[in-house]
Structure 1
Amino acid sequence: MKKTIVIVDDHILIAKALQGIIDNFAAFEVIYVCENGKELIKNFENSNKIPDILLLDISMPIMDGFETVAWVTAHHPEVKVMALSMQGEEKSVIKMVSNGAKGYLLKNAHPVELENALTKLNINGFFYPDWASKIIFSSLNKTKDMEIKISDREKEFLKYTVTELNYKEIADKMFCSPRTVESYRDQLCEKLELKTRVGLAVFAIKNGFA
Structure 2
Amino acid sequence: MTYSIVIVDDHLLIAKAIATIVEGFRDFEVLYEAENGQALTARFAQPRNIPDIVLLDITMPLMDGFETASWLKEHHPEVLVMALSVQDDEDALIRMIKHGARGYLHKNVHPTELEKALYTLVNKGMYFPDWATSKVFRTIAEPRDETRLTHKLSQREIEFLQFAATELTYKEIGEKMFCSPRTVESYRDSLFEKLGLKTRVGLVMYAVKNGLVKL
User: TM-score with structure 1 length normalisation?
Assistant: 0.79
SS class of match (1:45): coil
Residue 69 (structure 2) pairs with residue 69 (structure 1): yes
Residue 160 (structure 2) pairs with residue 151 (structure 1): no
SS class of match (1:95): helix
- In 2, Cα distance between equivalents of 1:186 and 1:100: 18
Task: Indicate if the aligned counterparts of 1:99 and 1:196 stay in contact, CA closer than 8 A.
Answer: no
Percent of aligned pairs with the same residue? 48
Match of 2:182 among 170, 173, 177: 173
- In 1, Cα distance between equivalents of 2:36 and 2:151: 41
SS class of match (2:45): helix
SS class of match (1:25): coil
CA RMSD, Structure 1 to Structure 2 (Å): 3.2
Q: Which residue of 1 aligns with 2:201?
A: 198
TM-aligned CA deviation for residue 48 of structure 1:
2.8
TM-aligned CA deviation for residue 182 of structure 1:
4.8
- In 2, Cα distance between equivalents of 1:79 and 1:29: 15
SS class of match (1:7): strand
- In 1, Cα distance between equivalents of 2:58 and 2:14: 14
User: TM-score with structure 2 length normalisation?
Assistant: 0.78
TM-aligned CA deviation for residue 87 of structure 1:
2.9
* Number of residue-to-residue matches in the alignment: 198
- In 2, Cα distance between equivalents of 1:76 and 1:202: 25
* Unpaired runs of at least 5, structure 1: 166-170
Q: How does 1:19-168 map to 2 (within 5 A)?
A: 19-140=19-140, 147=150, 149-152=152-155, 154-155=157-158, 158=161, 163=169
- In 2, Cα distance between equivalents of 1:117 and 1:172: 24
- In 2, Cα distance between equivalents of 1:175 and 1:103: 23
Task: Indicate if the aligned counterparts of 1:154 and 1:188 stay in contact, CA closer than 8 A.
Answer: no
Task: Indicate if the aligned counterparts of 2:192 and 2:198 stay in contact, CA closer than 8 A.
Answer: no
Range 151-160 or range 42-51, more displaced:
151-160
* Unpaired runs of at least 5, structure 2: 172-179
